[in-house]
Chains A and B, each alone.
Chain A
């Protein structure tokens, strides 16, 4: 019984307009356990989103392997839910229809679909907004619905690509608490990409620090603090320092 998610010496190149292709990842290896909450943190260009897209199945690695449950990831699938930074809700569907989409893809009967979608909306506190269109909702509400839409198909892992980057600070704090509650309730694994140190320490059991050009892992930090975490605590500050140092070291390597 291995890890739920395995990256084995993954390298990723992208074609550019010039002659030399750009390297986003260089021989990255990483194992993630089931039920674990992991944050990938690093500056832009460190390949954290690429890593997430590989796991989602949007990309195929140039070299190395990405395994999920021991099987090579070849395409996107409902066992790996994705929450994007931009609101990827379908604007032509109401909140409930958006949440029902994944169930529709599995040909779940309409009454049951409706029931499960409403339950999922209930869970994120938005049952009252079920029949509203995304443009009628605030950014925070939309992102809650996006989470409900991913969770309703009961994925094994939730892949989140800077999901709270576009909302204001107060909404962001509320969304973080909500996410922790959902994670504890459902037992889903979470891989969460962010460039915000505070967010990483508040949420994750494990913070993977990445360095750019090409993307590599520069540190792998376990955060053993109890939930809910106190942002003002000394331990919080110590973790903050360690991650900051790791990020700075990565930036230095790039300069050298």
Chain B
């Protein structure tokens, strides 16, 4: 609705200047008038786009503020609620400030993000490689099919205790667990995308004389990209889930560790800090993903 009214405004702005063009045609130089009109349109368009974006950002921020306000109000409205069990944002912030000052919070965040990023990166490389190999080489596909699909059906959380038993509570088992969990969505979507590459694309490439490697990098991978991206997005979410499970199962640093500490000390505020952080990470990671996909693959958005 709002964008519609905005459009109309900008159109009105342009038509208001039409007499200028009339003057030009009268003096016999129409082309500059047309260029000017196009220029004006472009400017009006850019202005309305900027306004739209600003409005969206403002609404986003307003949404967050509204949420925080509501949350803050809850203990005041429902007097039977125990603020120690359901602390309002002001109390959470109070608990967070010393942690921020001491650098403890930053330490937990770094530890968690490093783990998640390392595990995810390993999953990305292995998942895409495995997806391509199993989709292009029937021998490998049939050989790996039962085992890979079997493992895929095991929820990665079920492997956590085993990983602790095998590798102890160091960094390795956590990264391995995250990689394990994030691997499967990437592998399966890469496999489907590569396998289902439109035969017309493959035939075009072959008829134009492209070899195996060029076909893979210039045709098959870009064609499979929409599928791969869907898997990557899912893998980002899985990484955070497994991260929490792995950290809860035994560690000395990290956001989930901090939360379990808050649980033991009965400091619910600290647990809430963890929740807010995890939510923020998930949101930022997803935004980053969308931004990167748009930047890297300009054709993808509108072609599909």
Interface residue ranges of A41-88 to B (CB < 8 Å): 56-58, 75-78, 80-82, 84, 86, 88
Task: Decide if B210 touches A105 in the complex (CB within 8 Å).
Answer: yes
Interface residue ranges of B197-212 to A (CB < 8 Å): 200-201, 203-211
Cα–Cα, bound, A77→B206 (Å): 7
Q: Which residue of B lies closest to A136 (CB)?
A: B302
Residues of A within 8 A of B298 (CB): 133
Question: What 0/1 readout, one digit per residue, does chain B (37-51) give for beta carbons within 8 Å of chain A?
Answer: 000000000000000
Chain A interface bracket (under 10, 10 to 19, 20 to 34, 35 or more): 20 to 34
Task: Decide if A102 touches B299 in the complex (CB within 8 Å).
Answer: no
With A90-B222, A91-B299 known as contacts, the answer to whether A56 contacts B203 (CB < 8 A) is: yes
Task: Decide if B204 touches A82 in the complex (CB within 8 Å).
Answer: yes
Cα–Cα, bound, A134→B210 (Å): 20
Contact of A102 among B203, B209, B223, B225 (CB under 8 A): B209
Contact of A133 among B208, B223, B299 (CB under 8 A): B299
A151 to chain B, nearest CB (A): 11
Most buried by B among A77, A92, A102: A92
Label chain A's interface by main secondary structure: loop
Task: Decide if A92 touches B208 in the complex (CB within 8 Å).
Answer: no
Residues of A within 8 A of B223 (CB): 90, 92
Residues of B within 8 A of A77 (CB): 207, 209
Q: Which residue of B lies closest to A76 (CB)?
A: B206
Contact of A78 among B201, B208, B219, B302 (CB under 8 A): B208
Question: What 0/1 readout, one digit per residue, does chain A (78-116) give for beta carbons within 8 Å of chain B?
Answer: 101110101010111100000001101110000000000
Q: Which residue of B lies closest to A146 (CB)?
A: B204
Residues of A within 8 A of B201 (CB): 88, 90
Task: Decide if A75 touches B218 in the complex (CB within 8 Å).
Answer: no
Task: Decide if B200 touches A88 in the complex (CB within 8 Å).
Answer: yes
Residues of A within 8 A of B209 (CB): 76-78, 102, 105-106, 153
With A90-B222, A101-B218, A104-B214 known as contacts, the answer to whether A75 contacts B206 (CB < 8 A) is: yes
Task: Decide if B208 touches A135 in the complex (CB within 8 Å).
Answer: no
Task: Decide if A82 touches B210 in the complex (CB within 8 Å).
Answer: no
- Which 9 A/B pairs are nearest by Cβ-Cβ distance? A78-B209, A102-B208, A76-B206, A92-B222, A105-B210, A91-B303, A82-B207, A135-B303, A105-B209
Q: Please name 22 pairs of A and B residues whose Cβ atoms are closer than 8 Å in the assembled complex, sorted by A.
A: A56-B207, A57-B206, A76-B207, A78-B209, A80-B207, A81-B208, A82-B207, A84-B204, A86-B200, A88-B201, A88-B204, A90-B204, A90-B222, A92-B297, A92-B299, A104-B214, A104-B218, A105-B208, A133-B302, A134-B303, A135-B303, A149-B208
| Given pairs A133-B303, A153-B208, 20 additional interface contacts (CB within 8 A) | A56-B203, A57-B207, A75-B206, A76-B209, A77-B207, A78-B207, A82-B204, A88-B200, A88-B201, A88-B204, A90-B219, A90-B222, A101-B208, A102-B209, A104-B214, A105-B208, A105-B214, A135-B299, A136-B302, A150-B207
Which residues of B come within 8 Å of A, CB atoms? 200-201, 203-211, 214, 218-219, 222-223, 225, 297-300, 302-303
